[in-house]
Amino acid sequence: MNSTTPPAGPRYLQVADDLRAAIAAGHYAEGAQLPTESALCDRHGVSRFTVREALRRLQAEGLIRRRRGSGTVVDTVGSVLRQPLSDVAELLQYAADSEFDFERRGMVTLSSAQAADFAMAAGSRWILLSGIRRMTPGGVPLAVTDVHVNPALEPHVAALQPGRQTLFAQLGLAAGFRIGRVEQDIRALAAGSREAAALGIARRAPLLRIVRSYRDDSGRIVLFSVSSHPGDRFTYSMHIDPA
Amino acid sequence: MNSTTPPAGPRYLQVADDLRAAIAAGHYAEGAQLPTESALCDRHGVSRFTVREALRRLQAEGLIRRRRGSGTVVDTVGSVLRQPLSDVAELLQYAADSEFDFERRGMVTLSSAQAADFAMAAGSRWILLSGIRRMTPGGVPLAVTDVHVNPALEPHVAALQPGRQTLFAQLGLAAGFRIGRVEQDIRALAAGSREAAALGIARRAPLLRIVRSYRDDSGRIVLFSVSSHPGDRFTYSMHIDPA
DNA sequence: GAGTGGTCTAGACCACGTG
DNA sequence: ACGTGGTCTAGACCACTCC
């Protein structure tokens, strides 16, 4: 037997997780210099390729900023309502920062109006779960969300748990598929009576509507969610880094 | 002297441009298989590292989709109002798909309310340009936009041209800086009288408000823009690919 | 000039999808 | 079984920033 235990996935993810945890633990403050690439190579006993792949991930998450000649610095802000979105990991992270309660509402068939609204196929059938997302349990509602699950996953729906894990991640675990592409459409519209009541805002108040579709790695739409956020309480934030 | 002319930047960008052009020219239809990595290595006479970096860019743009074991396929949709946003190149591409007319409105100082609204510093001073973005000249307005330019760039403002090039790109060319980070915040709010009149919608109708800040590579905010899109006429669309 | 990150090579082994 | 893309090594040279 070997003295080392290499259980987890790629090494660059382990390096990235290490750095992320160190930043979260406050070992590197905002604006602080991170170790150089060669230092990280030594510390983790990996090649520069691996270290650079790890740093690439952190940069995509907006956690660090890099400049040739200068080095790598921590570049993050802690505002809770900001939702940086660079990759799927970040998308899932957002879910972990808030609380989701839902109830099953049965099977639905999309009308042509809904289909156009959600960019989905008219007449398609889905298992509907409705819920509310809050920053803290019992706190101010951040969004009212309708989650539509592919009926093929019916056997796993009953086991879904509310909380800080995305339904998508839970279904993936239970049904054994892996994440593929995520698409999302964002628009503004006026609150209807249902959203107004659930969010505690006026009818016709501005809403931010986010429709996300999640595909597995074979391209099948596993579920799509329709989230309505009160305009005065939610800002969707993201960034893009060059190259 | 050598027979080859290596004028442009990194080789992976040349490879990426070649592939992008080939896809645009229809040599690879939507869903078609692209050459394998090793084939591209041979064709361009570069290492696999370089080819993979090129393919990584195209994947970030949403142009291709890759799966281990299967291969690389073209994966694009041509809908005009969708705005995939994976990197700065895509952001600039969006501008090229629409038409922007503006006029100079003079120097402004941000009130504390505006500062909070835009996530900028109160009391900061900017050169204000106001304009309207349309899909086609004289067509339906897509957005009304206020562009705030850093006063340090005053000498170059007079030379700015309306049209299909972003003001940011024009300023970068004129003032000689390079693109750094782009950040954007998206929220929903009710139209005021100015937006209503400019966009031809009702007062208090829902608006999608996008605030974008552009930094050069030293972190200075070169300009920020505040765009208001009519909720019933504009959907912001993006996607995220795994890993 | 010393040190940083950016680009690049020529190999290697592996996990996965498809025959 | 084979070919695909995913991960990884151990080097190298370069552009850039800072001292």
H/E run at residue A184: strand A179-190
**Residue pLDDT, tens place only, A25-54:** 888 888 889 999 999 999 999 999 999 999
Contact A208 B229 (CB under 8 A): no
Write phi, then psi, for A5 (nearest 5 degrees). Answer: -115, 100
pLDDT band at B92 (very low <50, low <70, confident <90, very high): very low
- Confidence (pLDDT) at A51: 95
pLDDT of residue B5: 45
Average of per-residue pLDDT values in chain B: 80
Specify the pLDDT at position B179: 67
Our CA-based measurement puts residue A1 at a distance from the nearest CA of chain B, in whole angstroms, of 31
Q: Domain ranges in chain A?
A: 11-74, 88-230
C16 C1': nearest CA residue: B69
Higher pLDDT, B26 or A182: B26
Supply the pLDDT for residue A98: 62
**pLDDT surpassing 90 at residue A214:** no
- Residue A86 and residue A16: Cα distance in Å, rounded? 15
Confidence of residue A164 (pLDDT cuts 50, 70, 90): low
In SS3 terms, A110-133 reads as CCHHHHHHHCCCCCCEEEEEEEEE
* pLDDT of A81 above 60: no
Residue B196, pLDDT > 80, answer yes
CA angle A238, A240, A241 (to 5 degrees): 140
Using CB atoms, pick whichever of A87, A187, A190 lies closest to residue B235: A187
Per residue in B134-155, pLDDT (tens digit) is 877 777 888 899 999 999 889 8
Residue at the smallest CA–C1' distance to nucleotide C4: A69
Range name among A1-5, A128-132, A234-238, B60-64 with the lowest pLDDT average = A1-5
Average pLDDT over residues B92-111: 76
Among B113, B224, B206, residue whose Cα is nearest residue A239: B224
CA separation for the pair A83, A75 (Å, rounded): 15
CA proximity to A55, closest of A98, A20, A103: A20
Q: Using beta carbons and an 8 Å cutoff, which residues of B are at the interface with A?
A: 65, 67, 85-88, 91, 178-190, 204-209, 217, 229, 231-232, 234-243
Residue of B nearest to A207 (CA): B188
Tokens encoding B212: 């974008």
Per the CB < 8 A criterion, the answer to whether A239 and B221 are in contact is no
CA pair distance A230, A223, nearest whole angstrom: 23
Residue of A73, A85, A181, A186 for testing the chain B interface, max B β-carbons within 10 Å: A186
- Residue–nucleotide distance: A242 CA to D16 C1' (Å): 16
CA-CA distances (angstroms) from residue A122 to A109, A116, A117, B76?
Answer: 8, 8, 10, 22
> Mean pLDDT throughout B83-108?
63
User: What Å value separates CA A70 and C1' D18?
Assistant: 8
Name which of B79, B90, B92 is nearest B225 in CA terms. B92
Q: Are A141 and A200 in contact (CB under 8 A)?
A: yes
Structural contact between residues B132 and B141, judged by C-beta atoms closer than 8 angstroms? yes
Nearest C-alpha of chain B: how many angstroms from A201? 13
Which residues are registered as beta bridge partners of B183?
A239, B213
Checking if the pLDDT of B99 tops 50, the result is: yes
pLDDT on residue A179? 66
Assign domain B88-230 to a CATH class.
alpha beta
* Length of chain B, in residues: 243
Q: What type of residue sits at position B25?
A: A
Range in A84-98, A135-149, A224-238, B35-49 the model is least confident about? A84-98
For residue A14, pLDDT over 50 is answered with: yes
CB B184 to CB A241 under 8 A?
A: no
Question: Is A242 within 8 Å of B180 when comparing Cβ atoms?
Answer: yes
Residue A84 has pLDDT above 60, yes or no: no
Residues A150-163, mean pLDDT to the nearest whole number: 85
Of B161, B147, B166, the closest CA to residue B108 belongs to B147
Nucleotide nearest to B54 (CA to C1'): C7
B32 to A120, B74, B86, B136, B183: CA distances (angstroms): 24, 6, 22, 31, 34
Residues of B in contact with A234 (CB under 8 A): 187
Query: Please, are residues B211 and B226 in contact by the beta-carbon 8 Å criterion?
Result: yes
Sequence-ordered list of residues with C-beta below 8 angstroms from that of B209, at least 6 positions apart, any chain: A188, B186, B187, B188, B189, B226, B227, B228, B229
Q: What angle do CA A89, A90, A92 make, to 5 degrees?
A: 65
Q: How would DSSP label each residue in B111-170?
A: -HHHHHHHT--TT-EEEEEEEEEESSTTS-EEEEEEEEE-GGGHHHHTT---BSS-HHHH
Tell me what the pLDDT averaged over chain A comes to. 80
| Domain B11-74: assigned CATH number | 1.10.10.10
Q: How confident is the model at residue A190 (pLDDT cuts 50, 70, 90)?
A: very high
B108 vs B105: CA distance, rounded Å: 9
DSSP characters for B58-122? HHHTTSEEEETTTEEEE-----TT----SSHHHHHHHHHTSEEEEEEEEEEE--HHHHHHHT--T
Closest residue on chain B to A217 (Cα): B67
Query: A73-82, A164-173, B196-205 — which is least confidently predicted?
Result: A73-82
For B89, other C-beta atoms within 10 Å of its C-beta total 16
Distance from CA of B222 to the nearest CA of A (A): 15
Helix (H) or strand (E) holding B34: none
Q: Count Cβ atoms within 10 A of the Cβ of residue B186 and give its class: 0-12 exposed, 13-18 middle, 19 or more buried.
A: buried
Task: Tell me which residue has tokens 């570049």.
Answer: A75
CA distance A52 to A36: 10
pLDDT of residue A235: 79
